[in-house]
Structure 1
């Protein structure tokens, strides 16, 4: 029996199958996930990320990140300090926040593996196109939430599950590094467990505030 990597519940069922992988869904939090045996190893995973060509000099990439940056920036006090979790090989969101006066720390297990960033508190934490890659999202999100000051924000960008039929033809599941898939219901469930206020400013953005 498979346990849910978000809530650890054992009540999971088959959700989808294709020629590459299997996908299961948790009956409690509704997370859809790939079994551990079908994940890439770290070297394979990094090889995929190394092909990413993101850069703060790319206006299109900035516009893409703007879907999270703009609604979050409006909620921040001047000088609020943040952490960009899972910044990737071409950190850009952190540059955008620093340009408007928000000091930023970076963490990425492959490209910025400085764990000292987890020894301080933050006014906000961002994770853009990150949670779908996490093997243990329950543990990782709990760690991030513990670093956020009261009243602070956790802002996540990830495309959301829209149902079994849409899932079967969804381009998002073709990326072999994508192993966890959140729906709006999943975020509502997790936010309720953590006593967070949750809003969805865009189809792939969720902002949760710590009360």
Structure 2
């Protein structure tokens, strides 16, 4: 099978893992691990899976989870009110409301739950993308879109579980979600930061803060 990497579009792709659900590949240049495109859900199946999520603003555990990205991002942003976009906000834009509570002006976008594309026609001081990037079928396209939404000097804040190595991947619960198709690692984000001229800061195990350099 000949595949191009869906992130960097290299042809240097190798087999990585096979489980009872799917086959996975790894790109040599950018280290992205991705599921076999033939195993993707239909749009209706994917939407049905997302509808099972119950992420509420009243759920203190979920707010604590999102604080892992909200707190370090807020430290980077400082006290000045800034304009942000929560990309892939899901059915309940809890992170957007948390950041709005800190004085920032927030917009939201989600292809299923908040599909107003007019918010993608401007740039922002910061963009958040929490537990969404692993769902991207065409991450080369969506990554470029994310970068285009961030002003020079602005921040892109991502939350996603990171691939560690092949042994850990074999028993990794994160890959068992059928809507998770693109799996990033520290090496992947370092590749992207180096290629695209970004400063990268890894916060904990699953938060990545990238700053777009001033032009």
Task: Compute the TM-score of the two structures, normalised by the length of structure 1.
Answer: 0.99
Q: Which runs of 5+ in 2 are unaligned?
A: none
CA drift at 1:56: 1.1
CA drift at 1:12: 0.2
CA drift at 1:36: 1.3
Aligned length: 211
CA contact (8 A) 1:124 1:153 kept: yes
How do 1:93-172 and structure 2 match up within 5 A? 93-172=95-174
CA contact (8 A) 1:155 1:206 kept: yes
Return structure 1 stretches of 4+ with deviation > 3 angstroms: none
Matched, 1:185 2:183: no
Q: Which runs of 5+ in 1 are unaligned?
A: none
Aligned residue for 2:99, secondary structure, equals helix
Deviations 1:50-78 (A, max 9, x none): 00000111110000001100000111141
CA contact (8 A) 1:160 1:204 kept: yes
Deviations 1:146-198 (A, max 9, x none): 12111100010000001000000000011000000000000000111110000
CA contact (8 A) 1:123 1:149 kept: yes
Partner residue in 2 for 1:201: 203
CA distance in 2, matches of 1:188, 1:38: 28
CA contact (8 A) 1:56 1:92 kept: yes
Deviates more, 1:74-83 or 1:174-183: 74-83
CA contact (8 A) 1:2 1:35 kept: no
What RMSD, in angstroms, separates the aligned Cα atoms of the two structures? 0.6
Task: Compute the TM-score of the two structures, normalised by the length of structure 2.
Answer: 0.97
CA drift at 1:208: 0.2
CA drift at 1:202: 1.4
CA distance in 1, matches of 2:145, 2:171: 33
